[in-house]
Each structure stands twice: as C-alpha cells, then as structure tokens.
Amino acid sequence: MKKISSLITTLPMEAYLQIGKQRLGIGSVEQMNTVSATTRVQDILQQVPIQFRKGGVEYLVLRSEQIQNQMGITRDFPKTDRADGIAPDILTSCSADMKPCSREDVAICLETIASTFQVKVPDDLGLTRYFDLLCKYPRFIIDHCTESIIKEYPYPRLPVPKDFIDRCEPMYVEHYDWLYKMTKNFMRLEIWMQGDQKIHNKYLDKVEDK
C-alpha cells in the first residue's frame, strides 16, 4: 500500500509533505439559504470517514473537488479559498488519528472482550501474535472493533485475530484512502500555485484560436 509519508518545502506545502502528502461550481455556503446549506453540509459529511468529520472538513471536500475537476482545466477555478488556510491543520490532525495503536491498546481491547465474555486471554506467545497483527491499526479503529465484537459477536469466546482484522481492515482502508486522496489533491494545488498556473484545455485553445 502507498505510504502517505512517501508523498514527501514552506507551509502549507511542508505540512502536506509531512503528512505524506474541491468546492463544486455552486458558489459558497454563505450564498445558500440556511436549509439548503445544512442539507448540503450533511451530504458532504457523508463522504468523509467518521473519524475525520472535524469542523471545517466540508470545505476541504468541496475544495478538493474543485482541484480535481477544475484546476488547470477551466478559468473558473478560484485560486484562493477558505479551505486553503485550514487544510494543513485538519489534514495534520487526521494524520495523527491514523497513528498505529500501542500494544497496551490491543491488550485493553482483548481484556475488555475477555472480561465481558468471561473467557481467558491467550498466553504470552498468543498475545504476541495478536499484537503483531493488530498494532498497525489506529486506536479509534481498535476501540470501534471492541464495541462491535461485544455487541455482535455470537460466540462466548475470544475472537481469533481474523475476526478482528475483518472488522478493522475495511475501516482502516476507508480512512487511509480518503486521507491519501485529500492530501494529494492539496499537494497538487500547492505545486500548481507555485508553477505557471497555465490552463491546459484543448477545447479552450481551439476557441481562442478562432
């Protein structure tokens, strides 16, 4: 899997690079009426993995869409946006959320489940295998997995590592891919802003030639 850290030199570029490193053409949120704005924000947040639904993240999603669909293609692309100023902090916070959990976090997860189900935890050798396989996941995913197993697991025994991985991996991939895409788009914006900012659109070129 691609490393966010491999997307690695001034803020905000430095922040994007350290992390690993679209506003749609509908106008700003302020231009909408209150009801439509609220609905639009809710719709946007549905695109964001649950852990990353931080204040202001909706502006990043809209700006990212602009970057992807308009930057370098149309003159309608705004060179500045409110999201540009808050993107480094939000993406850095999201990146911090993805920090791998500790062995203690996994141990607490196993002890909580074992205590709830009234079963024993594995010996040291068995615990080591759980640690090796689960410590790549962030703590919020391990916590989510713990609650999921307690509520849904049908057997009165400690789940095997695969049971944990089957719950953790999809959530991990969802968050990782979103963060990678968002960081990459804002890196593209920074590079474009520092470059020639040319429009590369063969259809526009043809119109201008006439």
* pLDDT tens, position by position, 75-92: 889 988 999 999 999 999
Q: How far apart are CA 73 and CA 203, in angstroms?
A: 10
Beta-bridge partners for 80: none
- pTM for this entry: 0.78
**Under 8 Å between Cβ of 97 and 61:** no
- CA–CA distance, 111 with 121 (Å, rounded to integer): 7
Domain boundaries defined on the chain = 4-98+176-209, 103-171
Confidence of residue 202 (pLDDT cuts 50, 70, 90): low
Residue 23's CB is within 10 A of a number of other CB atoms, namely: 24
Look at residue 47 and tell me whether its pLDDT is greater than 70.
yes
